[in-house]
Chains A and B, each alone.
Chain A
């Protein structure tokens, strides 16, 4: 089974807060993990991708993967109103060329 589960929210936080977004999955064969941001009427925009357990940081964003628990997270520090969007987790089984499996997305609103 290749299910990816993600709490759809909505999630509402004050500006400057730390945001935690999470996905769980059931298939231990997933190797690559991505986070995309999707604004209304736009396509998914890549934020982070990683292929191993542990943390990966890029500016205000930190992606965390725990393969033993089948759990991935995205942390947003010092959240801004411009971070208001839907956040999608995605994962794949192997290297380039294969399908991504997406979560349902979490709707985030950052209140000024």
Chain B
């Protein structure tokens, strides 16, 4: 069964450094998402991306964050200057585009990248 893959599984970075988290969504999916989960807290939406542009973003997704689809298969999340509070699990998800007559297609998640800021 196709799956969303994320690399690396664990990233350790010094505070203030830039970090790039990588994701390969399911190949026939057209919507891509990033979520994060701080230890012991809810999974929180960061951003959704469709047709090479952001379609929706949360208050968490400030100017320190950016997303990119650099080629036909990868989807990346960049944090420009990391802070201690950015330490979390970051999940990538993807979903299939639906037409007007179709019901919602749910999002499929990768196993996440654990980001530790020192």
Residues of A participating in the B interface, judged by any CB pair closer than 8 Å: 4, 31-32, 34, 36, 41-46, 49, 51, 88, 90, 92, 94-105
Contacts and interface: CB of A to CB of B under 8 A. Distances in A.
Contact of A44 (B43, B50, B104): B43
A101 B91 CA distance: 14
Nearest to B95: A96
A88 B93 CA distance: 15
B104 A51 contact: yes
A105 B98 CA distance: 28
B48 A98 contact: yes
Contacts, number: 70
A45 B107 CA distance: 9
Contact of B109 (A41, A43, A105): A43
Interface of B: 4, 6, 31, 33, 35, 41-45, 48, 50, 55-56, 58, 91, 95-98, 103-112
A4 B1 CA distance: 30
Contacts of B107: 46, 100
Given A41-B111, A44-B91, A99 B104 contact: no
Q: Pick the 6 closest A-B CB pairs, nearest first.
A: A99-B45, A43-B109, A102-B43, A43-B111, A32-B104, A49-B106
